[in-house]
Structure 1
Amino acid sequence: MGDDSPVDRLEGANDGSSWRDGLDRLVRARGRMASEVGLIVVDHGSRLDETNRFIHTVCGAVRRSGPFAIIEPAHMDLASPSVDDAFRSCVSAGARLVIASPFFLLPGRHWSEDIPSLLDAAAARHPGVEWLVAPPLGTHPLLAEILLRRIAELE
């Protein structure tokens, strides 16, 4: 793949710096304080309630790790809360920068078009609030470790 490929960028994500360093750089570069950054973890959404509840579990795990004071779950479709609901909650809690982290493995239309479109619409109702979309989980080196651990769990 070429240098502009999202997959190539994701493969370079493990450059030795900590994710805390990366977040600090991002927040400073945007002229924000950490308390002004909201995170939306967004999945597709499902007709199954138990599947939709999983994103809340993910948000809880991220919250316990401590980097974000403002964290909201969202579903693109089929369930609540919506991206618009989550964006509004982030802003109400003090966010001036909202980061959407897609809970998807691979880059695709949801990542490149749909989520940005939903964020654009939500941000239009909140002038001065900036938003970013993180890359999907993709080909990060830790995914190989997770895959192997899951296989080892088989009986």
Structure 2
Amino acid sequence: MHLCYLSDLTLADASNLVRLYTNDTTRKYLGGPLEVSLAQTRAHTDINTPSKLPIWAIRSSTDHNFLGIISLDTHHDGSDIEVSYELLPEYMGYGYATQALEFVLNYSFNELNLKKVIAETQTQNKASIKLLERVGMVFEKSVERFGSNQSIFFITSHQYIDKHK
């Protein structure tokens, strides 16, 4: 059963994106909440600026509500592709992020033919680490970035295929 689905961002998502980007709980391990004006600018950019790699809205399968976002982008190292996700706090802990991450990994390996996808999360973010491990990602290394210890996880296309046989 699909709890959620992914769709393109639309203008109707702008207020939810601002809510997401300014939320203390959502942004706790992402450098803190953004100021409203910066969040509005980022929301506008995310909705209106075409990018090489996708950013999707995560939506509830039952009522189509906006739950959060998930995206693929070039990692800080400049070579790897990173998956990132943010959920509104009222939707955390229900399996939406797990399912969204599974959708994106499937897309990454079966549509984009990527060989590897990474994720970076603050080492203190235990829920995110559990999520990454749940979908088969493996700890690679720790780095100091943004004033905090970050854990980098990865999964290769072979690992993903083996997990889903």
Could you say which TM-score interval applies, normalised by the shorter chain? 0.3 to 0.5
Q: Which has the higher contact order (CA 8 A, sep 6+)?
A: 1
**Structure index of larger Rg:** 1
TM-score by length of 1: 0.35
TM-score by length of 2: 0.33
Task: Looking at secondary structure, tell me which structure has more strand per residue.
Answer: 2
